Amino acid sequence: MPDSPSASGTPPATLARSLKNRHIQMIALGGAIGTGLFYGSAASILLVGPGIILSYLIGGLAIYLILRFQGEMSTQEPVSGAFSHFAYRYWGGFAGFLAGWNYWLLYILVSMAELSVVGLYVSYWLPDFPAWASALIVLLSVTGLNLLNVRLYGESEFWLAFIKIAAIIGMILLGGVLIARGAGGAGIDNLWVHGGFLPNGVHGLLLSLVVVMFSFGGTELIGITAGEADDPRRSIPRAVNQVIWRILIFYIGALAVLVTLYPWNEVGLNGSPFVLIFSRLGIPAAPDILNLVVLSAAISVYNSGMYSNGRMLRSLAEQGNAPRVFLRLSRRQVPWVGVLFSSACTLAIVIVNFLVPEGAFMRIMAVATAAAATTWMMIVLVHMRFRKAHARDALLFPAPFYPWTNYLCAAFLVLLMGLMTQLDDTRPAVYVLPVWLGVLYLGYRLRSRRPA
C-alpha cells in the first residue's frame, strides 16, 4: 500500500482526527462487552451467586478510577498510543517498551480467541462450511476495513457494538416483564432464598472478581483513540464519564434480571445466560438471535483489537521500541504496516489455537487477563508520575482523590493477581506472566545495544 506523498517524500507524521464522541464511546463499549458477559458471566455466577451484582459494582468502580487516570493524561496530552507514550515519557524507556508490547500482546491474544470462535458461530447456520474458512473471511474483511480509513472503522464498530447493546437492552426489558408476571418462578426472592445473596461467602465474592475483571477489559481503548479524536479535550472526558455508567447499567442490569429470573445455581447448568432468557421467552428464533449477537460480539472485539494493535505499534516505533517501518501511514493516514503485521500474527495464533487440545481458549483468556492487569497497573503507576510532572499545571480533567485512589487501585490489582492463583483455569497465567515480563526485559536490553 503506497504512502501518502509529502514535500520530503516521507509519509504523513500524524493520524487523521476523524473519530467523534459517539465513535469513541462505542469503541470502548465494543471492546468491553463481549464474551465476558455473554458466556463468562455464568462462571462468575456459580462462584458468587446473586452477589454477582456486587462483584460488578466493585469491579466497575476500580475500572472507572483507572479510566479517570488514563482520561486525565489523554485529555492533557491527546496522542495515539496513550499509556505506552506516557510510560515512555514519564517513567523511562523500559516502561514504555513494556507497556506498549504488553498491550499489543494482550490484544493479539484477545483477537485470536475471538477469531477462533467465529467458525463455531457460523457453523450453526452452515454446518458444512469449514471453521477455518469462516475465521479467515472475518480476518481478511476486518483487516481490509481497518486499512481503509479510521472514520469507516469507527462507523463499523459503532454498529457492531449497537447490535450487542440492543440485545442486552431487549433482554433487560423482556426479562423485567417476565419478573413482573412471576413467570416460571421468577421473582425477587431468587436473590436470597437459594443459600443467600452470597451463598459462597466473601471468598466466593473475591474469586468472582477474576472473571468480572476480564469482562471489563477493553475499556482502556478510550486512550488509544485520543490521537484520532476530532476534539479530544472534549470527547475523551465525556466518553470516560458516560461509558462507565453504560457498562455498569448493561452488565448489572442484565445480570440482575438473570439472577432474578432463575435460581443462581441453575444458571451454569443450562448454557449461556442469554440462551436461558431467550428460551424462557418462547421465541422460536431465539437461537438464531443469540447466534447473531455473539457473532457480532466476536467480530466487534476483533475489530477493536485490530485498530488498537496498529496504533500501538506505531507508538512503539515513535519511541524507537519497534522497527521504524511501523511509522508508515497510508494515503488515508492509517498505520497500515502495523495493521497488516498484527493481522498476520493473529492468523498464525489462530492456526495454532485450532490445533491445541480443548480448553486452550480459557487458558488464553487467563493470560489475556493477566496482561490486562499489567496494563492497568502501568496506568495507575504512570499516572502518579504524570501528576508529579504536572504539579503546577492546570489539569483539564483531573482524576479524583489523587494519590489515594492510585494506592487503592494498585492494591486491588495485586489482590486480583493473588486471586488468580486460586482458580485452576487462571493459575497458569500467573506463572506465565513473569516469564513474559522477562522476555520483554531481554528484548529491551537487546534493543538498547543497537545504535539509535
pLDDT per residue over 364-397, tens digit each? Answer: 778 888 999 999 999 999 999 999 999 888 899 9
What lies within 8 Å, CB to CB, of 119 at 6+ separation is 130, 131, 132, 133, 134, 135
**What is the residue whose three cell numbers read 522476555?**
439
Stretch among 5-19, 177-191, 352-366 having the lowest mean pLDDT: 5-19
pLDDT number for residue 412:
97
Pick the closest to residue 139 from 111, 104, 170, 176 (CA basis). Answer: 111
pLDDT score, position 360: 59
Which of 272-276, 347-351, 395-399, 404-408 has the least mean pLDDT?
Answer: 272-276
What average pLDDT score do residues 84-101 get? 88
Strand partners, 3: 330
Can you spell out the DSSP letters for 154-223?
HHHHHHHHHHHHHHHHHHHHHHHHHHHHTGGG--GGGGTTTT-SSTTHHHHHHHHHHHHHHHHTTTTHHH
If you average pLDDT over residues 163-178, what whole number do you get? 81
Q: Is the pLDDT of residue 354 over 70?
A: no
Can you give the pLDDT at residue 8? 38
Tens of pLDDT along 113-156?
777 777 777 877 888 888 778 888 889 988 888 888 666 666 77
Average pLDDT, the chain: 80
Higher-confidence residue: 94 or 305? 94
Find all residues with CB under 8 Å of 405, minimum gap 6, and list them.
65, 68, 69, 399
Across the range 437-450, mean pLDDT stands at: 87
Which pLDDT band, with edges at 50, 70 and 90, does 225 fall under? low
What is the pTM assigned to this prediction? 0.82
- Which pLDDT band holds residue 440 (cuts at 50, 70, 90)? very high
pLDDT at 9 over 50: no
**Start-to-end C-alpha separation, the chain:** 27
39's CB contacts (< 8 A; 6+ apart) are 272, 294
Q: What pLDDT is attached to residue 28?
A: 59
3 — pLDDT class (breaks 50, 70, 90): very low
Q: What is the pLDDT of residue 213?
A: 87
Task: Round to whole Å and give the CA distance between 139 and 142.
Answer: 5
CA distance 132 to 119: 6
Are 364 and 213 in contact, with CB atoms under 8 Å apart?
no
Residue keyed to cell 422460536? 284
